[in-house]
Amino acid sequence: MNPSQNPSALRSKNEITNSLLRLMEQYPYAEISVKQIVIEAQVVRKTFYRNFSDKDDVLDAYLNNIMLEYVSALQQLEDCRLPNVLDEIFEFCTIHKDFLLLLHKNHLLHLLLEKWNTFIPAVHDQVVDKNSAFYKTSQNLRMDYILAFNIGAVWNIIVKWIENDMKESPKEIKITILAYLKNMIEFF
């Protein structure tokens, strides 16, 4: 993707992205062509290729943008304990519900997991409370495995929620997760 901040280029990028998302509501992602995106966006092919290399690049840029929003929200948390992080995760998913359902419909949810696996480890040290007992007792552990474990667990919860058309309330899921973790701690 071309990182230009020119207002005209930004408008074109947004229109191209929105056009791809509209097309994904109507057609399987695999069947959507750059030609369809260009026609839907009402831009010339040259404008498309000035901003993106292909339709995958459009989707990747959109995923990067929403992940940057998510990371920014995490960085603004004053208390990064699990209940608050879960609130941010569910808030992110609620805001982007239509997009997540669209990814699921097109068998592309794995792209979000790939982004989480990239963005979360990169931002972890910025958001973790280094004075917390949890952090201090975890310093001798392999954080890369802990993060992979946590991302995988949250990922599967989100996928299950999406498969259920996100009908359950985030509060209901959060209560279930926290109760389970409390039981696990007592079990050990």
Question: For residues 172 and 176, what is the distance between their CA atoms, to the nearest angstrom?
Answer: 6
On whether both 62 and 48 belong to a single domain, the answer is: no
d(CA 22, CA 152): 29
Residue 79 lies in a domain: yes
* pLDDT, tens digit, 9 for 90 and up, residues 30-76: 999 999 999 999 999 999 999 999 999 999 999 999 999 998 888 88
- If asked whether residues 116 and 182 sit together in one domain, one would say yes
Q: Are 146 and 124 spatial neighbours (Cβ–Cβ below 8 Å)?
A: no
**Number of domains observed in the structure of the chain:** 2
Alpha-carbon distance 19 to 117, whole Å? 27
Q: Within a domain: residue 148?
A: yes
pLDDT tens-digit profile of 107-125? Answer: 999 999 999 999 888 877 7
Query: Does 146 lie in the same domain as 134?
Result: yes
pTM of the model: 0.86
- Per cent of the chain over pLDDT 70 is 92
Question: Could you tell me the two tokens for 166?
Answer: 């996100």
Q: Which domain holds residue 49?
A: 7-53
| pLDDT tens readout for residues 72-121 | 888 888 777 778 888 999 999 999 999 999 999 999 999 999 999 998 88
Please state the rounded mean pLDDT for residues 1-24: 87
Judgement on whether residues 171 and 106 belong to the same structural domain of the protein: yes
DSSP string covering 83-142: HHHHHHHHHHHHHTHHHHHHHHHTT-THHHHHHHHHHHHHHHHHHS-TTSHHHHHHTTS-
Residues 12 and 83 in one domain: no
